[in-house]
Amino acid sequence: MNRRPFIKKLFQTTGGIYLASQSSLLFGNNSNRNDEKLGIALVGLGSYSKGQLAPALLETKHCYLAGIVTGTKEKESIWAEKYNIKKENIYNYDDIIHNDDIDIIYVVLPNSMHAEFTIRAANAGKHVICEKPMATSVEDCKKMIAACKKANKMLSIGYRLHFDPYHDKIMRIGQNKVYGPMDVEAEFSFMLKDPNSWRTKKSLAGGGPLMDLGIYALQASIYSFGELPTSVSATNTTKDSEFFKDIEGSLDWELTFPSGKANCTTSYEKSITARLTHNLDNEGQVKLQNAFYYNGIKGTTPDGDISFKPVNQQALQMDAFALNILKNTPTLVPGEMGLRDNYLIEKIYESAENNGKVIELNDVPNILDIRK
């Protein structure tokens, strides 16, 4: 299928994300703009941009919403009015290089498009935040990293939970063995009912719930231990193979770490579940309920409840990246971390396709978020 019919079809099936190679990019001047506040353009106006990222950019201190990509006049007027984006500042995407209002491109598209638009953003001389998963293959991840390095631009992956206080606490507890040795259990699942969702199409999603939800459980396992896994085994547990013809509907996997094991589950066939538990050798638990939600997380430890004031994870994530750029400091969640996770995802699928065969992980990309 050539590109133009493909993009037209994508527009029809993804609720209006229309991104031909001649997409229009709206930019706007903002009265708050100054040298300490960087402009972000959102590429992809689906539910995550609309419901989370754009509202979060009203709360950020070091960046603001300066532009959007859209192919529909209706969205132009709605977004321009709501976020003070001037309608007359319309540019071809490739002309973004000439617009000094835009410092950062945030790629919020179906997974299969992450690589292309990250590389295009880097080639246009912009820093990039790419939503997770970073890409649909390790090779694409490598190309994205190379493009950003060649352009001397920073690349960050949208791992919002690294900026959430509950998960920061979990990292510190686990990595410092506060309660001694442990094993980990992690699950993120919800019921996917729309057969026309781009999430059900491997060509767009790259896989099933492992790519979309399971990556949170994978991440949580690694940052709970602060270690790289040494082996993995996985089982495809899909129940409705008629509905999930192109992707897995459910998947279980076990990761072995130097100091423990992590048992993980992800599914599009279960009611919503988001849990992260450290099962301690002394029979206690450290536990997060609603663990991977945007808000409403609750935590408990053997010493009592964990409690923090509510935060906007996305605002903290984007502000942190803006400060990384302004201060020339490394991001907590670089492209190399996304590459690592795509490598592990490929190994999980390899094991599941081979009836749970144990896969030794001898060459995991060595990137960790270590908190002391």
Q: How far apart are CA 364 and CA 372, in angstroms?
A: 23
Output the CA torsion 331→336→337→341 (10° steps). 160
User: Which residues neighbour 6 within 8 Å (Cβ) at sequence distance 6 or greater?
Assistant: none
Q: Is the dihedral of CA 188, 192, 195, 196 positive or negative?
A: negative
SS3 state of residue 179: coil
**Residues 345, 223, 154: CA angle, nearest 5 degrees:** 75
Q: How far apart are CA 232 and CA 263, in angstroms?
A: 10
Tell me 332's DSSP state.
Answer: S
Strands 182-191 and 260-267: parallel
Q: Are 127 and 104 in contact (CB under 8 A)?
A: yes
Tell me 334's DSSP state.
Answer: B
Burial (CB count <10 Å: 0-12, 13-18, 19+), residue 152: exposed
Tell me 202's DSSP state.
Answer: H
Q: Are 156 and 355 in contact (CB under 8 A)?
A: no
Residue numbers annotated as active site: 132, 216
Alpha-carbon Rg for the chain, nearest whole angstrom, is: 20
Q: How far apart are CA 106 and CA 117, in angstroms?
A: 9
Q: Are 123 and 151 in contact (CB under 8 A)?
A: yes
Residue 219 region by backbone torsions, left for phi larger than 0, else alpha for psi between -120 and 50, else beta: alpha
Q: How far apart are CA 91 and CA 85, in angstroms?
A: 13
| H or E element at residue 67 | strand 63-70
Q: How far apart are CA 259 and CA 224, in angstroms?
A: 11
